[in-house]
Amino acid sequence: MTFSEENYLKTIYHITALSGVEVSTNAIAEKMETKASSVTDMLKKLADKELIVYKKYQGVLLTEKGKLSAKMIVRKHRLWEVFLVDKLQFSWDEVHDIAEQLEHIKSEKLINKLDDFLGNPTEDPHGDPIPDVNGKIIKIEKLLLSELKENQIGICVGVKDSSAEFLKYLDKNKIALGVSIKVNSIEEFDLSLNVKVNESDLLITHKIAGNIFVKVA
């Protein structure tokens, strides 16, 4: 596969993982920031390689072969993110773009050795699951912080928005994986939350709370 084909396959995988239904050409075009006509051309190529099922005007689904291929790209991306953070001391807001380049390395032997070197992690620095060598994913039971009720405590296990801007915001407020967040109160007017993080009180918007995954303590 070309780099471009891999990027399309990964994009389709991420969209279907969220929605669980067929992906429209327009949805892919929006995510890839390209024209629908360009997407259509690529979908035909992926269909020829039996990586997707594509029916004009009906949307796209990954085949089992396509799903496994996409998971292997995601596996490489997330393992490289772990390496960059744990071994090279990059911050979690810096690694996505670098991993986007490294994920296209073809050597399975290298990636499997990298996995073993890192201790076979099951999550990346943002709390997203890492597929194993067979594509198996260990799912974590989690809720959004915005779903918690007053006086509940959640442990941060991931983020929904992994943009550099959002991760920098979390860093500034000392919110990271493993940090305990207690909901002190919820404002009825706009559903903003007063929370306790590391013994400090913090007011966060409903939007921010809707982008932080937690496991109820």
Mean pLDDT, the chain cut into blocks of 10 residues (217 residues total): 94 82 89 90 95 87 95 97 97 95 96 97 94 92 95 95 94 95 96 95 96 94
- In this prediction the pTM is 0.86
Contacts by residues 166-170 (CB-CB < 8 Å, ≥ 24 positions apart): 166/211, 167/91, 167/92, 167/93, 167/126, 168/93, 169/208, 170/212
Q: What is the pLDDT of residue 169?
A: 96
- The values of phi and psi at residue 144, to 5°, are -80, 145
Domain boundaries of the chain, sorted by first residue = 3-62, 143-216
Architecture per CATH, domain 3-62, reads as: Orthogonal Bundle (1.10)
Q: What is the pLDDT of residue 62?
A: 94
Burial class of residue 80 (count of CB atoms within 10 Å of its CB; 0-12, 13-18, 19+): buried
Q: What is the pLDDT of residue 19?
A: 64
Q: Which fold has domain 143-216?
A: SH3 type barrels. (2.30.30)
Q: What is the pLDDT of residue 70?
A: 96
Give the whole-angstrom CA distance, residue 180 versus residue 198: 7
Q: What is the pLDDT of residue 18?
A: 65
Q: What is the pLDDT of residue 140?
A: 82
